[in-house]
Every structure is written in structure tokens, then in C-alpha cells.
Amino acid sequence: MGRTHAFRWHGLAVIKIGSAVLAPEGAADAAAFARLAEGVAAARGMGWGVVLVSSGAVACGFRALGLDRPPKTIARKQAAAAIGQPALMGLWSAALGAHRCAAAQVLLTADDLDARARFLNARRTLGELLGAGLVPVVNENDSVSFDEIKLGDNDRLSALVAGLVSAQLLLVLSSVDGVYEHGDARRVIARLGSAREAAAHVRPDKTATGVGGMGTKLEAASIASAWGIATVIARGTRAGVIPAVLRGEPVGTRVEPAARPRRARERWLMASARARGVVTIDDGARRAITERGASLLPAGVVGVSGDFARGAVVQVADAAGAAVARGVSAYSADELRRIKGLRAAQLPGALGHAAYCDEAIHRDDMALQAAARGS
């Protein structure tokens, strides 16, 4: 990641491991941790730096609350995570330690990736840990997260982490062999040009201890693909699965990276930052943005929803409500409402002060949606 450290990895892999693999039915499987730690050690021996995105905190902790099944309420999930996270890290530390690999706990919330400065700080932290030869073990900070700041699931978190560290591969280990062709478990799709190709094959299934199903895994693959990162979805209980995938063996389903990966700032805008409002634009502005790569001018704005400050990330939509782009607004929601539809010379009079700039959203602070981008 551009720094001089004792460890120089030939490549970086983010490996997401689901609860169904680590703690089936809520009981942590020490043998699973040992088997996967052996795979991580093998990967490191092949020259790969590894970041683990590990589910299992809630699954490891809910039985200590006297429950016989995973909790549904936020408060109980938080309590279970608070109990289970130390146990989860203890299992990883012991399993990796058996191979002389030191684990480092990293807990994240959406707020950590929402603000650009904190996003970059998380990137630096993970880079330092990898450069020092440690294995970062990442999880969502479930014990303090609530609906407004949750990342949603560890599949999505793993894709965001892959982008943070500029990984070459995202490996999602689950309780299935990969994406099944039309739901037939006897036929695994070996390769997909994009996550969209799998839509016809996916059912909204998930395990008792898991949060997401195949749909969330493909959403993660779509995020990773847009960032130029390949994704492999494979069965986590298969012996030697990690080194096999890294050797390029035909294991699981591989989703190819996009031919035109997004720039780093576009990655943050599209996947990590949360939109604080919606700016609706007319058709002329939509064409200027999508066809000519132009900035969004106030003259093209026809509506503003939400209450956001200057510098907030907003969704840009056309008159029909279809998403066109995301961008950093140069004006607050109130200011945009006052200057929508106006030309540059009219802005100071409507604002009551000098305009910050002529653009509502500058092109350099904007990322097109995939459909509008043509990829």
C-alpha cells in the first residue's frame, strides 16, 4: 500500500467468513477456526497479505443471554455481540497463533466509512497492520451500531474493506459451493462476467445464524467488481479452500472485475458514503452529466429533498426518480432550493451573499451510476 514495511505482500486478499461456517446454530466450531487459520497461513506463505472479515460475534454470544435462537431486536443483538466479540477474537487469536500469525481486531461502523477523512484513516490503519505482518480481523461494531449507522451485513462490509486496502481478490466463504445454476445444487456456475448475470439464479435464502443470503454476496461482488476486484464465492467448509482459490483452481463461482474500474474517490462516493438527500435534475442536465461529463449547474436543478449541509453527499436523480449519480454538494439543501433553476449571474441575489462557486456539484466530486456510466 505504498509504505516501506518488513512485509511486502505480492497481493492482498480480503476473506469474508460467514456465521454459518464459524458458528453453525450458534455454537462456535473451534475446528473450523483451526482449518481456516491454516488456510490463512498457507496464503501468507504464498505471498498474500490477508484481511479477515469475520462474522460470528452475535452467533457466538446469543446463547449466553439464555436464548435458543439468534435475537431479532437491536438491543439483544448488541448485547449478544458484546458477549460474542471477545470470544470470537479469542478463537481467531488462538487459531492464527498456532501458525505464528498475530491477529488484530478492527471494528467498523458506517460512520467510519461515511466521512472521507475517517475512510482514509481506516485505510491507513489497515495498511499499517498489513505492513507489520499482522492479520486484521474486521467486524461491524454490532455492540454499538443501530439502524442509522449499520453497514447492513458483513458481505457488504467485506467489499468495502477490499476497496479500502486495494485488494486483488475478495473471497466470500459461505455454506454453499457458489452460485448454483437455476438453484440446482449439482451445478455451480464457475465464472460470471458480472454479478448481474446471476440474478436469474438467486433465491433469497439465508441460514439461521446468517444475516444475508446469496443476494447480499452478489451485491458485495458488484461493489468489488466496480473497483476492479475479482470475487470468488465458495464453500467455507471445504478443506484447503483458501490456498486453492489463490492458486487459481476452479473452486466456487468467480465474478470478474469491471473492465473500467472506478477511481478511488468514486469508490467512496458510490459504496461507502451515505446520501443525505436527493437532488432532482432536468433532462438537459442529465444529458450534460452522462454524455459530456459536465458538472451539475444550479440551472439544471428542479427539486431538492432532505436536509443536508454544504459538502454532504447527495443522490442525483432524473425527473422520473431514476438515480443518475452521487456527488458532494457545494451548497446546503436550503441554499440549493433558493438557487435551483438559476444561472450563475443570479446566484448572489438569491443567496444574499457571493456564490461559493458556479456549480451545484462539480464533476470532480461526482460519480455516475453504473447504468449511466455504461459499465
pLDDT at 202: 63
Domain count, the chain: 2
User: Which one-letter DSSP state was computed for residue 257?
Assistant: P
User: What is the pLDDT at residue 205?
Assistant: 53
Q: What is the pLDDT of residue 86?
A: 92
pLDDT on residue 1:
45
How many CA atoms, within 13 angstroms, populate the side-chain half-sphere of residue 213? 12
In this structure, the answer to whether residues 251 and 295 fall within a common structural domain is: no
pLDDT of residue 117: 72
Give the end of a domain, one of 265, 290, 310.
265
Q: Do 294 and 329 reside in the same domain of the chain?
A: yes
Query: In this predicted model, what pLDDT tens digit does every residue of 98-137 receive, in sequence order?
Result: 999 999 999 887 667 766 777 778 888 999 999 999 999 9
Q: How many CA atoms does the CB half-sphere of 340 hold within 13 Å?
A: 15
Same domain, 159 and 234: yes
pLDDT tens for residues 321-347? 999 999 889 999 999 999 999 999 999
In this structure, the chain runs to a length of: 375
Judgement on whether residues 201 and 291 belong to the same structural domain of the protein: no
pLDDT by residue (tens digit) across 189-223?
A: 877 766 666 666 665 555 444 445 778 888 888 88
Q: Which helix (H) or strand (E) holds 362?
A: none
On whether both 290 and 333 belong to a single domain, the answer is yes
pLDDT band at 2 (very low <50, low <70, confident <90, very high): very low
Where residue 302 sits, what CATH number does that domain have?
2.30.130.10
Instruction: Write the pLDDT tens digit of every residue in 236-287.
Output: 999 999 999 999 998 988 888 877 766 666 766 766 667 889 999 999 999 9
Among 230, 265, 300, identify where a domain stops: 265
| Domain identity same for 220 and 120 | yes
Least confidently predicted of 83-87, 188-192, 366-370? 188-192
Range of the domain at 329: 275-373
User: Of all residues in the chain, what percent carry a pLDDT higher than 70?
Assistant: 83
Q: How far is CA 260 from CA 257, 265, 374, in A?
A: 9, 14, 10
Give CA–CA dist 53/256, Å, rounded.
21
pLDDT for residue 147: 47
Predicted confidence (pLDDT) at residue 371 exceeds the cutoff of 70: no
Which comes out higher in pLDDT, residue 187 or 292?
292
Q: What is the pLDDT of residue 4?
A: 42
**Do 251 and 217 share a structural domain?**
yes
Name which of 42-46, 217-221, 353-357 the model is least confident about. 217-221
User: Would residue 349 count as lying in a domain?
Assistant: yes
- In this structure, is residue 1 part of a structural domain? no
Cell of 191: 465464472
Is pLDDT at 314 greater than 60 in this prediction?
yes
Q: In this predicted model, what pLDDT tens digit does every residue of 49-85 receive, in sequence order? A: 999 999 888 888 888 899 988 888 888 888 888 898 9
Asked if residue 202 and residue 80 are part of one domain, the reply reads yes
Task: Mention every residue, 6+ apart, whose C-beta is less than 8 A from residue 80.
Answer: 57, 58, 61, 62, 64, 65, 67, 70, 71, 142
DSSP H or E segment with residue 14: strand 11-17
pTM, two decimals, is: 0.74
Task: Report the pLDDT value the prediction gives residue 272, as an integer from 0 to 100.
Answer: 60
* Last-in-domain residue among 241, 265, 289: 265
Residues 6+ apart with CB under 8 A from 297: 285, 343, 344, 358, 359, 360
